[in-house]
Amino acid sequence: MTTHTDGINTFAIRVNQPLGTFYAFTLGANVLDQITYSQPAEVMARLEQESDDSKGGYSIFGTQRGENKKRLEEIASFIRTTEATFPNAIILAANYDPDGGYIGEEDARRWSVKGGGDGSWRLHIPSLSERSASIIDGQHRLHAFNKLPLDAPERSMELLCVVFLELPTPYHAYVFATINFNQKKVDRSLAYELFGFDVDEKPARFWSPETLAVYLTRLMNTEKESPLYRSIFPAADSDKLFSDADEQPDLDVRVSMATVVDGILRLISKNPKEDRNLVRRPENKGLGRDALTPIKGVPLRALYVQNNDKAIYDLLCNYFLAVRSAVWATAGKGSYLRKTVGVQALFDVLKELLCDSPITASNFSAITLSASLQPCSNLDPNGDKYQASGIGRSEIRRDLLRALGKA
C-alpha cells in the first residue's frame, strides 16, 4: 500500500458474485476510521399501514444498530491483548456521501479501481479527509479502536476490508440484513422495510424516493419492452429474473444500477434521505408522500408526490427508447455513449429537457423525443471519441446539449 497527499493506492482482490462485484483489501484502522461513516439505526413508530404479520412494533432505518458502549469497551480491551485478531472483513460501500448522495465519476472523492493486466487490481482512495464510504457491517469493531489511548500503537492495526463501488444505498441495508440474519436475531424489518426493500410490504404512497428509484430501475431491467432490458447491473437474483431463453438486448448497452437509481433520484428529490425520514415520521403516518412538497428544479417531483409512478416510468421508457434509436443505434462499437458515463450524461440532458418544456404526454412521447434527439445521431460513429471518466461525462453532456441547440 502507498499513501500520498492525494490519497491511497493499495492492492485488492476482485470478487464477482450475483449481487455485484466487490474488492478485498487491508487498511489501518486509524485510516479507515477517517474515510468512513456509519448510519446508526433509528427506532421509529410503525406505520398503521404495515402488514399485521410484521412483528416487533417498530421500523428500523439505517443499516447499523445504535452503538453499544459496553460492547465497544469490550472489543477495545480485546484489541490490546496479544491474541487480538479480526479475521472477518469490515464491509463497506463506497461512493456515497453521509447524506446518501451518489459520488459520480467526475467527483474527486470517488473511489476507483484499475486492473493490472495480470489479474491484479489497484484500489485508489483519493482523499483521507473525506468520508466517502459507508460501513455496512463492522462498525463496532472499527469504532472500538477510538476507545484506545491516542498514542496506542494498536490504532494502526491492519483490518481486512471488503468494498462495493457500485452498490445503490438500498442494497447496503440488504447486505447488512442478510449477514446478520445468518448470525444473530435481527428484526425482519431490516430486510423488508429498509430503503428499497419494502416494495411488497408497504403501499406505494409510502415509498421513499430511494424505494421508487430502485423499483423503477428493476422494472426497466426486467421488462422486455423496456429500452434498458437486461442492461443494468448488478441485478440481484439475476438467475431468477432471467432464463437462458430470454432474448439478449440487440445493442451493447451496459450501465450500473447505481447510475440509473441516481439518475432517477435526481429527477424526484434533492435530499432522498430527508424525504425518506419525512414520509415515515409518526406524525405523517397517514400522509405518505403527501407530507412532501414540490421543489423547483426537480422536474418529476410533482409526479412523485402525486403517486403517479406510472407516468414517471413511461416517461423514462419513452426517453430511453428515443435514445436507443437516435443515439445508441448510430454509435460505434464500444462507445461510452452506451456505458455508465454516457447514461449519466443522458440523464443530465433529460433533466434539462424536462425543465425546459411542460411535462405532457405529447411533449415526452417516444416519437416526439426521437425527433428531438435526431441531431445527436452522429456523435460517436467510430466508438472512440469519449473516455470513461468524469471528463467523458462532461464531454458527452456538452456535445448532446450542443447538438440540441442548448449549449
- The pLDDT tens digits of the residues spanning 51-109 come to 333 333 333 334 444 557 788 888 999 999 988 999 999 999 999 888 778 888 778 89
Residues 111 and 17 in one domain: yes
Residue range 287-311, pLDDT digits in tens: 889 999 989 999 999 999 999 999 9
Q: Environment class of residue 236 by beta-carbon count within 10 Å: exposed (0-12), middle (13-18) or buried (19+)?
A: middle
Band the pLDDT of 202: cuts 50, 70, 90.
Answer: low
Query: Quick one: 213 and 352 in the same domain?
Result: yes
Question: Contact, 18 vs 238, CB < 8 A?
Answer: yes
Residue 330 has pLDDT above 70, yes or no: yes
On whether residue 198 sits in a domain, the answer given is no
Cis peptide upstream of residue 234 (ω within 30 degrees of 0): yes
Spatial contact of 355 and 271, defined as CB atoms under 8 Å apart: no
Q: For residues 338-360, give the mean pLDDT.
A: 94
Q: Are residues 143 and 271 in the same domain?
A: no
Chain Cα centroid distance, residue 85: 32
Whether the pLDDT of residue 192 is over 50: the answer is no
- Domain of 68, in residue numbers: 2-192
Is there a domain that residue 199 lies in? no
Q: Is the pLDDT of residue 22 over 50?
A: yes
Helix (H) or strand (E) holding 263: helix 257-268
* 285, part of any domain: yes
Does 381 share its domain with 240?
Answer: yes
Which H, E and C letters describe 358-392, residue by residue? Answer: CCCCCCCCHHHHHHHHHHHCCCCCCCCCCCCCHHH
pLDDT digits (tens, 9 = 90+) for 112-121: 999 877 778 9
Start-end of H helices in 101-192: 139-143, 169-181, 189-192
Average pLDDT over residues 383-394: 86
Whole-number Å distance between alpha carbons of 332 and 250: 14
Higher pLDDT, 245 or 234: 234
| Position 326 pLDDT exceeds 90 | yes
Q: Which residue has the higher pLDDT, 308 or 186?
A: 308
C-alpha–C-alpha distance, residues 258 and 131, integer Å: 19
Q: What is the pLDDT of residue 178?
A: 65
Domain assignment of residue 87, yes or no: yes
Listed residues 138, 166, 192: the one ending a domain: 192
What pLDDT, on the 0 to 100 scale, is given for residue 252?
79
pLDDT grade for 124, boundaries at 50, 70 and 90: very high
Report how many domains make up the chain. 2
The three grid cell numbers given for residue 11, joined into one nine-digit string: 492492492
Q: Report if residue 298 sits inside a domain.
A: yes
Report the alpha-carbon distance of residue 342 to residue 359 in Å, rounded. 24
Q: Quick one: 103 and 32 in the same domain?
A: yes
Please give the angle made by the CA atoms of 391, 322 and 334, to the nearest 5 degrees. 45
- Of the pLDDT bands very low, low, confident and very high (cuts 50, 70, 90), residue 250 is low
Contact criterion met (CB below 8 Å) for 286 and 235: no
Do both 100 and 226 map to the same domain? no
pLDDT at 294: 87
Same domain, 183 and 218: no
140, 157, 192 — which closes off a domain? 192
* Sign of the torsion angle spanned by Cα atoms 324, 245, 225, 165: negative
- For residue 166, the model assigns a pLDDT of 82
278/332 same-domain check = yes
Predicted local distance difference test score (pLDDT) of residue 82: 85
Q: Quick one: pLDDT band at residue 43, thresholds 50, 70, 90?
A: very low
Across 339-363, average pLDDT:
93
pLDDT at 198 over 70: no
Is residue 106 located within the same domain as residue 133? Answer: yes
Asked whether residue 150 falls in the same domain as residue 230, the answer is no
Percent of the chain scoring above 90 in pLDDT: 46
Residue 5 pLDDT grade (very low, low, confident, very high; cuts 50, 70, 90)? low
Q: Which residues pair with 400 in a beta bridge?
A: none
pLDDT tens per residue across span 210-220: 888 888 988 89
For 278, phi then psi, to 5°, come to -65, -45
Q: Smallest Cα–Cα separation from 402: which of 357, 349, 355?
A: 349
Same domain, 238 and 383: yes
Q: Please list, residue by residue across 246-275, b when 16 or more beta carbons sit within 10 angstroms of its beta carbon and e when fewer do.
A: eeeeeeebebbbbbbbbbbbbbbbeebbeb
Q: Higher-confidence residue: 152 or 203? A: 152
Which stretch of 18-22, 241-245, 381-385, 391-395 has the lowest confidence by average pLDDT? 241-245
Domain C-terminal end among 192, 218, 245: 192
Q: Are residues 177 and 217 in the same domain?
A: no
